[in-house]
Structure 1
Amino acid sequence: MGNIFSISLSLDPIITRCSDCATGQASYICNLEDNLHAFQAEVAGLKELRSDLMSRVRIAEDEQQLKRLNQVEGWLSRAETLINDADQLIVQSPQHVENLCMGGCCSTHPRSSIKFGKKIAKKLLEVKDQKENGDFSDVASKPPLPSATERPSEPTVGLESNFNKVWSCIQKEQVGISGIYGLGGVGKTTLLNQINNKFHDTTHDYHVIWAVASQDRPIERVQDQIAKRIGLSNEGWKSIEEKAEDIFQVLCKKKFALLLDDIWEWFDLTRAGIPIPTQENGSKVIFTTRRLDVCCQMQPNRDNNIRVECLPPGEAFKLFEEKVGSETLRMHPDICKLAEAVVEECAGLPLALITIGRAMASKKTPREWEYATEVLRQSAASVLPGVGKEMYPKLKFSYDCLPDERFRSCFLYCSLYPEDHPIEKYQLVDCWIGEGLLDEHTSLSNARNQGHFIIGSLIDACLLEKGQYNDRVKMHDVIRDMALWIAGESEKEKFFVKSGVQLKEQPKAKKWAEVTRMSLMENQIENLTEILECPNLQTLFLGSNDLKVIMDDFFNFMPMLRVLDLSRNMNLKELPVGIAKLVSLEHLNLSFTKIRKLPVELKTLAKLKYLNLEWTRDLKMIPQQLISSFSKLQVLKMHGCGYGCLLVLEELEHLKYLNVLTLTFGSFSELEKASRFNKVFSCAIEHVSLINFRDSRSLNMTALAKLQHLCILWLWRGVDLEEVKIESNIIEGAGCFHSLRNVNLAGCNHLRDVSWVTFAPHLEELEIYKCNGLEEIISEEKLGEVSELKGNLNLFSKLKILFLHYLPKLKTIYRHALPFPQLKEIRIVKCPMLKKLPLNSNSAKGQRLVIKGAEGWWKDVEWEDESTKIAFLPTFKPGI
């Protein structure tokens, strides 16, 4: 009896479980495995559907400037939540499957299995339903146009009374057109900016349009800007008249305020399609010009035209002192009196006061100030019509004070770029090198350093301005005009510049033989079918056109050409064989073109030192021994090139002057093979990209860590990549990633951290996009494994930019606050789990840090303490 009793006890749990299985809920256990398989497949399909939809949305937003539909945004948000929930259930599923027994019909933990099975079944239905609702014919639409768009504006000196006059004039019902006129650089555009921003900051019923006319093709340029502002597509327009008709049909139904900057002659509003402002329609046109006669032609009533006067002596000196610095003025008793003489010579012109004030900021002795005063007084150069005889000689003072002719030539070179064009520093310096403007007998590295030193000097002299990004500069329009005037007056240098003026055909000129530099960039030229006889031409900029055909003989009579830029001609598929006639060519830029092969005739370019093939994705054929025939080649850029980098590495071994190389690898094995070419690989590579690599879960960075000149590293779409390794002997040695400045990661979904970037001591920019599995940037545990990094307070000591985009699992950047002594900008986008930043009240001290992100995310940020919160709240800029 005891044995029987014992047996009945051991069977009890099984009987209980079978009893549960007999109930109506047993199906959740019996169907669990099938439901799981179906669930995983449906989730995978939902992810693919979401990815496809996001691609359509990005194209609509980035390329078509549309705004995503609310229903699309809602669907994406719900899909993201569902996917996150689903991923968590899938992670939990193995333990529930292990609990199944008796062929999957029962469970050792029935209640838990039933509960989990219910969740799976419920989520399966939700995912299916979400997929069925994800079919959108349209994903975006045109956003509503704001009544006015705010423009950047600096604090001004002495413009308050002028502003009040203009604003008062605008308020008068009987005044439809108002003019603002005065000398170049007197502050007219600044004043118009303030008017625009007044509209932005007040309630009104105007549709405010900002447009810049300038000298070249003013009507067409203004038409394009108006069309963009009022939401008209310019596709299909063939003539000014067609544009005018479409613009008129829109504007005649609006009450508009057109702010028209920088007109040089009478502007025909009717021909442009702009309804004439009247008291009945209530519209306004406010324009700026340097010429009173233009004002009178546009608006005969002089009371409605406001002259912007130069500053009176007191305000002029105040502005000058602000730029030169009160410390300089106090260096010697005589300097202040001499400064008054300099201010007097500037005649109250703000641009001259600012330019010369900054130029004199470092001059600490009376002799320097006496020289400045004398030079200003004796300058006898003439000026361009419409600018005024007093302006250019005074502005030219900064040019005359440059150290030598090399600096002056480099400055004039910048005028080849279009108005308001952001000029990439590295591109500019490489062109200077190609033209021979920098020391030719030094190393490439030293020549580049010299170029950047010159750029810094030109910025200091206010002849160049810092761009929006640190790697760019720009040239003020007036300064550019002055530079072109100087070049036009020069006996040595003759420029032909028609950049950014919407040319559709190859221009004509009478005196090609005199031209030394030519720029036709940023136009719409399709064909070059006429020979240019330019025996003295040294630089030719043809970038950013619509070039399709370049005749074979086009380059026949340019024997001195040293720099040729054909970049960003997206329709250019082949090079003319006549390019072989450019026997003096040293710099050839073919980046962002559609060329499919390099002609073997390029072998005649024996002096070529710089060849840029970046993002020539269609390039599939380079003749053997072509690259190695460029025996003087110093720079070869092939990042994003369609031609396999391994095919040229062997040839590169023979190029003894090669200093800069950029490459893209499609697999880890390619990288390993490339590393065997030790001479080229270790000494020349400046930029490496690993894109679409699928052949490794672990990436050993040892080969890359040893690269002496690696500045930029991109890891994109490493589908299987789970970890990045660096061998301990490399970490312990000196120079690991010593030159690395920029790291960009995207689409590496299995990476959980990027702790390896801490081995790059000079890292300045870290950008991470769409790494769905990333949980932390720097792992404290992994740092602890490396003795050299334990307690390291210098992490990110050089970091300036930190961009983190679409990282759904990211929780921490680093667990402790860091000093960040150089940090300029943090940008956080779609990182919902990132609640705390590695900041305390001492972080980024002395820096003008900007933190950008969504307002909802910012509200949830957790701070170290109240003082940290107070310190960083003002740094936030919403809107991403």
Structure 2
Amino acid sequence: MKRLHQVQGWLSRVEAEETEVDKLIKDSAQEIEKLCLGGYCSWNIKSSYKYGKKIAQKLQVVSKLKEEGCFPTVAEIWSREDPMDEPITGERILPQIVVDERPCEPTVGLETTFDAVWRYLGEKQVGVIGLYGMGGVGKTTLLTQINNKFVDVSNDFDIVMWVVVSKDLQLEKIQENIGRKIGLSDESWRSKSLEEKAMDIFKILRRKRFVLLLDDIWERVDLVKVGVPPLSSPPLSSSFTSKVVFTTRFVEVCGHMEAHRKLKVECLADEEAWKLFRSKVGGDALDNHPEIPELAQTAAKECGGLPLALITIGRAMACKKTPAEWRYAIEVLRRSAHEFPGLGKEVYPLLKFSYDSLPSCTLRACLLYCSLFPEDYNIPKKHLIDCWIGEGFLGDDDVGGTQYQGQHHVGVLLHACLLEEEDDDFVKMHDVIRDMTLWLACEFDKEKENFLVRAGTGMTEPGVGRWEGVRRISLMENQINSLSGSPTCPHLLTLFLNRNDLSSITDGFFAYMSSLRVLNLSNNDSLRELPAEISKLVSLHQSSKLNKGVAERVQVFGEHQMFELGEYILSPYNSSASGI
């Protein structure tokens, strides 16, 4: 006997809802503690309102499931041992094993996404499911869990096929992987053309209920050319007996593959990240000194919830049993993470694949530019695009056009999971992605862009002796009080000095920065005057938000200069403050 397809789908949805209901019940004790005045009021009205809304919505879902759970028939007689005709020789053969279990380490924090995928596999309206997320976040692990679930759970499918696609897309290799699974693997079949093999695969799969798991897709895979029966989008087909699930780093690929459902695989929350990190470090190191657990939690947070980084760093720290070793490791992670064992060889190269796959050198330059901002910094989109314009990354068309082009570039980086959107107006770089881009910009020989980034490190001196030869410098969010001397920086393009304690800049400081295009001195409230030579920086395109007191003293501008001054803007076309 075998459950009917609609029954299995209903049960999968019930299991998924049970998981979410259990979480709500677990959170109930904490929410009850917030109540006061006999339960008629709350110390945290917003939290209690949100919790109550979730309960009400969940009750509606459960009620609907109960209504849909009445089936006149729940199972049918069926045998997987029924023979079929071998399409090449005409011989009668038995079906292949339904699924091959794959090795997989225990995981943490993927339960919610797994449950959602499993629920979609049971829904007849869903045929293609896309899983996307940044490199190292656990997409392959999640797909492996889905594959192995078919080993243990009764299901409606005849066969489950696993194919690793990777960056070098070759349809013939996909065909060979599928062919081995369905009995098409002899030498004569492998010598056939792409079209002939596609026909053979199609003849077998069209009579089967299959699941095709495609790992690591970088571009659209034409499954029809492979021989996979098409899974048309509704309303062309209202029911799918077969499924395709794939993983990718790019949300656009989900659209190109016509995914009916797409799910982002997120980094781990703090509690889940600590659980994974702790399991890799092990009790031998953590229990060796009372200070180590707290230091270990600090080290875990440097990973930003990225499972690959948590695993790599956790394993590297498993033999560190003194607080001094842990403090040094944290310092290395913060100052020069690429020097930490494993990151430069295992983590960054994997993430660099996403960087290398950006469609243009301009987009790669735009991404590297984002590393000039401090860790966990909410970057205003408009300010970022203005800086890109100032650097010359965007086209020379009208201002509106370059702004639209900049918005497009931001979107590409977001969809590649290389930036994260905080809300409509801000983006942020994941800590490990930022470390990787700094590794590329500062250390990686082939991509070396001569960046000097000490943003948010608490430095009090600018260290101008290290500026020569550098193209982009970010010393924002420090405690630098003054700038003196005349550093020789003929190649310097961008200089971020905003959010310091600057009160004075000596004459001649900008005298040898002839190429400077982007200068940010904003949020230095004590700064009232600029050196006279700043008016001679003819390449300067953008200087962000100086104090208004300085604006009143600036009268001469370079050919293309534009100074944003708090709520005012000065440009070569308008030498007096005007509202924006």
Q: TM-score category by the smaller chain?
A: 0.3 to 0.5
Q: TM-score, normalised by structure 2?
A: 0.45
TM-score (norm 1): 0.30
Specify which structure has the bigger relative contact order, considering alpha-carbon pairs within 8 angstroms and separated by 6 or more residues: 2
Larger radius of gyration: 1
